[in-house]
Amino acid sequence: MNCGCADVVTPGLLDLLDARARMIAAAKPVSGQQRLALGEAAGRVLAEDAVARLDLPGVDNSAMDGYALRLADLERVAAAGEGLSVALRVPAGAGVLRLPEGDCARIFTGAPVPLGAEAVVPQERTRVDPRGHVHVLGEVAAGANIRRRGEEAGTGDRVLAAGTRLTPAAIALLASHGIAEVLVRPRLTVALISTGDELIEPGSPRVPGQVYNSNVAMLRALLVQQQCRVLDLGIVDDTAPALHEAFIVARDSADLVICTGGVSVGEEDHVRPVLERLGGIDFHGVAMKPGKPFAFGWLGTSAERGTPLIGLPGNPVASLVGWQYLALPFVHGRQGRTPAPLQHFPVKAGFSRRGSRGRRELLRVVLDWTGGTPVASLAGGQGSHMLGAASQAHGYLMIDADTHVEEGNAHGFCPVAQFLD
């Protein structure tokens, strides 16, 4: 189905950044909680603050392999041209010992610093004489190479806030506090609906005019990446009754409905009229290229009590862009996460191109760093049906409406990596 993404000026379109803000404001976390073992919680979202159960580090410990000593003892022996005798050997996991007066301790990374020691000197800054005495090379500052008890977190401190996605590093942090279980938000159940009589599933025999359904394969992968449960309702006939029935099933079985195709304004585009009968529309049409026909609404009696619905364009790159810029922050909000601000920074264009009338254009680009600073080049064909460039792009060069791209001029670059978290 033609998604209606022709480069024409359409009145009444919502600005992309305004649309993003509206999606974020409308995203209310789903209710419920689930307790999971830490090893099963990767990618899930914390439902409550995680609080430190102990000081971290638990004792003053050494940041280096070397020698723990008192500064006064070091000053005394250095003035006499002598070294410090080694009275203790302290490996990681040892108890807290006391450093005898006038001596030093051989110590290893992570080992408790003996009581009385004021600094740790790295072994590469020392010399051991034939008698086994340690001579220090250079100056030593008080507290050098000592990790202080509780310097990362003290008992009772909040170490992770509710709404944090549990990355491997976050899980390691919780494990370091002895936390074995966490309370997380439930997974979202997302119903996927495809419209288009021309669509067939990958692996099926194809005849001229038919198109393999790449959108659902892509969206399923994106949703699984966000720890969502996916309810694939398949390809729905291009008729209002068929879409009506699919919407009812999706409304009653999912936390969010995403449909692709049928969101433009043609005679065979039924999403908007069916959605208006079964619920309502917040907005339809965004001033961006690709992705103009994006729609957002709900199925049910009201936006507050109904099941939200996102309508993505049928062309796959337009669908991907709509997901990344608009649908993804909404999913994060439904998960109880705080959607991250859009990351962008100026990058010079290595090409010239005519601007889009009335819409921001999101050009798929790759960055060339050979000159020391990044220069953006087109990743390939920019048609909204061309997945090759989208699959290779490092990000998007965001071009303001009615603005021509001139080689050497800077525009905002949005790295694609931000959409993978």
pLDDT digits (tens, 9 = 90+) for 120-143: 999 999 999 999 999 999 999 999
Q: Is pLDDT above 60 for 374?
A: yes
Is there a domain that residue 1 lies in? Answer: no
Number of domains the chain contains: 4
Q: Judge residue 190's burial from the number of C-beta atoms within 10 Å of its C-beta, 0-12 exposed, 13-18 middle, 19 or more buried.
A: buried
The residue to which tokens 């062309």 are assigned? 315
The residue among 309, 334, 359 that closes a domain is 334
Encoded amino acid at 68, one letter: A
pLDDT of 45 > 60? The answer is: yes
83 and 195 in a common domain: no
The CA distance from 312 to 322, in Å, is 6
The whole-number pLDDT of residue 11 equals 66
Range of the domain at 168: 34-55+156-184
Whether residues 234 and 160 fall in one domain: no
Q: From CA 175, how far away is CA 38, in angstroms rounded?
A: 8
* Greatest Cα-to-Cα distance within the chain, rounded to the nearest angstrom: 97
Contacts of 51 (CB under 8 A, 6+ apart): 156, 157, 158, 159
- Among 100, 126, 147, where does a domain finish? 147
Strand 360-368, strand 288-289: pairing: parallel
* Positive/negative CA dihedral, 284, 286, 291, 293: positive
- Cα separation, 194 vs 312, in Å, equals 10
pLDDT on residue 265: 58
Alpha-carbon span 392 to 30, nearest angstrom: 34
Predicted pLDDT at 394: 98
Radius of gyration of the chain (CA): 30
Domain assignment of residue 339, yes or no? no
The H or E element containing residue 244 is: helix 240-253
pTM for this one?
0.86
Kindly state whether residues 94 and 46 are assigned to the same domain: no
- The answer to whether residue 6 sits within a structural domain is no
Among residues 334, 365, 387, the one where a domain terminates is 334
Q: How many residues does the chain have?
A: 421
